Chains A and B, each alone.
Chain A
Amino acid sequence: MYKYILEKLGDFDWMALFALLTFFFVFTLSAYLIFIKDKSEVARLSNLPLDDCEDLLPQ
């Protein structure tokens, strides 16, 4: 069986592989960078919509 797998090895689609690897790289890097962000800064950012500086808050 391995003989056939090895025979087919050269037929892989480089574009599909490139796509998958690129995604994996981008996703892993962004996930890593995001999860090392400072916690208090993240809390401040997530509150931005609730702090709109309006002088008059109409009812």
Chain B
Amino acid sequence: MSEKTTLEHFSYDNKIVRDFGIATTIWGIVGMLVGLLAALQLIWPDFNITQYFTFGRIRPLHTNAVIFAFVGNGIFMGVYYSLQRLLKARMWSDLLSKVHFWGWQAIILAAAITLPLGYTSSAEYAELEWPIDLGIALIWIVFGLNMFGTIFKRREQHLYVAIWFYIGTWVTVTLLHVIKNLEIPVHMWNSIPVFAGVQDALIQWWYGHNAVAFFLTTPYLGLMYYFLPKAANRPVYSYRLSIVHFWALIFIYIWAGPHHLLYTSLPDWAQSLGTVFSIMLIAPSWGGMLNGLLTLRGAWDKVRQDPILKFMVVAITAYGMATLEGPLLSIKSINAISHYTDWTVAHVHVGTLGWNGMLTFGILYWLWPKLYGTKLFSTRLANTHFWMSTLGTIFYTVPLYWAGWTQSMMWKQFTADGFLAYGNFLETVTQIIPMYGLRSLGGAIYVLGVFLMAYNLIKTARQGSLIRDTKASAAPLQDIPMTDGVSWHRWIERRPIQMLVASALVVLIGGIVEIFPMLVIDKNVPTIASVQPYTPLELEGRDLYIREGCVSCHSQMIRPFRSETERYGEFSKSGEFVYDRPFLWGSKRTGPDLHRIGNKYPHSWHYNHMLDPESMSPGSIMPSYEWMIDQDLDTEYTFAKIKVLKYLNTPYEFTADEQVQKAINAQARRIAKELNEQGIEQENLEDKEIVALIAYLQRMGTDIQADGVVNNN
């Protein structure tokens, strides 16, 4: 160190932090209200208002809004505040900050418009169509440029551990977003994924799980490592532990995705890897949780008084609970019970409501008085909000744990004579409706608390005035030569690009070992000779199934359990999905599995069921899809879809649009005629969407039945 250096004067950009703070609050309220609406729809189907706001369409709207809008803006708020201060430098470019802010809000708006319109890729947490995916990539690069630009002009030699988490997040999300969204556009709002069936499933859950890991967890851990010491006014308990936490977490997390696919058609070795690494995750996760909680050693008296610390303590505890529960749910015998039930939904909400929500609220309450140079308007209101959030989370999750367990037990229950005790799936749904009611109450309490916070923040802002820039002074960065005695880690801590490369390598190891063999080794997906591509009409029916978000409530994956094969039929084989782009295995059974629905009921049953589900299944909570009866099927892009599928090696013989249209008309007329014979009278029935949907439903899972093969070819 040189003895004397001149101080440089600069300022921190607070306005961008404030803007992201406002965005996270507004989108939080919007996303949670949409979630509340979805919860109410599961109790009263009448809340499915018009075709644009059915459960299937707004469920992804809810998840995208809370993940990418609420948590996303929360991440950027915290990163923009802490990064500048930890690096002792203003953000590299105010312009890039603004482009980042407005670009991200535009993406959210595009999602909020396109998802209710039914433009979806159906991949969970990656539902947005390709033009929006490109927009996300662009804005993410803007964020990265701004972050690394700031890192390069920093005045602090060492990168604090929070910044490693930000770098790890940026590089991994880039990787996940690009690989998950490898798709070929058909038209502006439709695309076909490059991977099919079991490979698409593996890529999806490699992405889906790591969206949780690297969007909901690692950036928030970075925020925890900065804002918790700030709020408690004491350094983190163990900086060494935080380093182990970082490297172990990013290394292990990337492997855990296959635990979403236990007992499915995914090869056993991939499932085992998912389980092993998920259980190993307990160690770094709990190391991080303990590091957070122990930071408050000797300050627990403050926790009793200060709502900010209360929020943070409960958030970190929720992180610990969710990261213990996650590995337990990855054990095959537990997963056999929990999977497809509301247990998973409860688990996710411990993380989102508890960890992400409460940490965001704690940070907002800490930041707002700093940004406006005043005191929090009402500590009492903040305390009330804290209890509403805590009670809301409990009322949300506990009934769903109960519901998940109850329903799973009912699915698996056999009578003494060896028959399913609850052969009618609907019985297992109506049983848990009261729990859905309590869950909605919990959600309502939680979102009311957020309204309270918004009021408190508005009043706080009004009693102060925004400090757009905070002045600061620091010595310029000096190039300290590395000596032989300097450790490897101190070396890398000073080098952001090397840190980026090291993080990328660490996460790539897991991705490559798991995914690469799946893509190149044929024996992983045994083919079945009788499995054929969908007919053009079935293909359109499948796209309607995707548009309506049927996958939100219905799986297409029968696990090899007696309770499932008795209820649904032959268990699902990986070779049956080789032409499924995208795969539609689903992850939740609010309704029954549909993989063997083909040929199970007459066409008229499906027609009536889609028109009025209760007419076929009294007490059903499925909404009516009456518009599919009236709307004409759009076949303008069918041939374009087939061309893309042919390019991806689907063995179609169609070479012209006329051939495709002819095939569509022939199959539609046949189904319409059969519907007529079954008593359904409707003018121009063969042109309607319902006919395409019926074609698809009747095809599902029939390829491995000998008669199914004959029927469809």
Contact = CB atoms under 8 A, between A and B. Distances in A.
A13 interface: yes
Nearest to B283: A27
Contacts of A6: none
B471 A56 contact: yes
Contact of A16 (B239, B273, B506): B273
Nearest to A59: B375
Contacts of B487: 33, 36-37
Contacts of B252: 23
Contacts of B467: 56, 58
Contacts of A33: 487-489
Interface in B408-461: none
A24 to B, nearest CB: 10
Given A37-B490, A50-B229, A58-B467, A16 B276 contact: yes
Nearest to B251: A26
Contacts of B239: 42-43, 45-46
Consensus secondary structure, chain A interface: helix
Interface residues of A, number: 33
Nearest to A35: B240
Interface in B253-303: 255, 269, 272-273, 276-277, 280
B474 A53 contact: yes
A34 B269 contact: no
A26 B233 CA distance: 33
B517 interface: yes
Interface string A1-43: 0000000000001011011101100110011011111000111
Contacts of A50: 229-230, 233-235
Nearest to A58: B373
B304 to A, nearest CB: 22
A39 B144 CA distance: 32
A45 B471 contact: no
Most chain B CB inside 10 Å of its own CB: which residue of A33, A34, A36, A43: A34
Nearest to B246: A30
B473 interface: yes
A58 to B, nearest CB: 4
Contact of A18 (B161, B375, B513): B513
Interface residues of B, number: 56
A49 B82 contact: yes
A16 B86 CA distance: 39
A12 to B, nearest CB: 11
A37 B16 CA distance: 36
B178 interface: no
A4 to B, nearest CB: 20
A53 B160 contact: no
Contacts, number: 117
B236 interface: yes
B177 interface: no
B256 to A, nearest CB: 11
B235 A41 contact: no
A15 B472 contact: no
A22 B251 CA distance: 10
A15 B561 CA distance: 27
A21 B510 CA distance: 12
A13 B269 contact: yes
Nearest to B252: A23
A34 B489 contact: yes
B80 interface: no
A10 to B, nearest CB: 15
B244 A45 contact: no
B240 A37 contact: yes
Contact of A55 (B230, B234, B473, B514): B473
Interface in B135-165: 155-156, 158, 160-162
B125 interface: no
B673 interface: no
Contacts of A56: 467, 470-471
B696 interface: no
B158 A37 contact: no
Contact of A45 (B160, B251, B470): B160
Interface string B18-37: 00000000000000000000
B531 interface: no
Contacts of B471: 54-56
A49 B244 contact: no
Given A16-B269, A27-B251, 13 more contacts: A19-B276, A26-B251, A27-B244, A30-B244, A30-B247, A30-B248, A34-B240, A43-B239, A46-B235, A48-B160, A53-B474, A55-B473, A58-B374
Interface of A: 13, 15-16, 18-20, 22-23, 26-27, 30-31, 33-37, 41-43, 45-50, 52-56, 58-59
Interface of B: 9, 12, 82, 85-86, 88, 155-156, 158, 160-162, 225-226, 229-230, 233-236, 239-240, 243-244, 247-248, 251-252, 255, 269, 272-273, 276-277, 280, 369-370, 373-375, 467, 470-474, 487-490, 506, 509-510, 513-514, 517
22 contacts: A13-B272, A16-B272, A19-B276, A19-B277, A23-B252, A23-B280, A26-B251, A27-B244, A27-B251, A34-B240, A34-B244, A36-B487, A37-B240, A41-B490, A43-B239, A49-B162, A49-B236, A52-B85, A52-B86, A54-B470, A58-B373, A59-B373
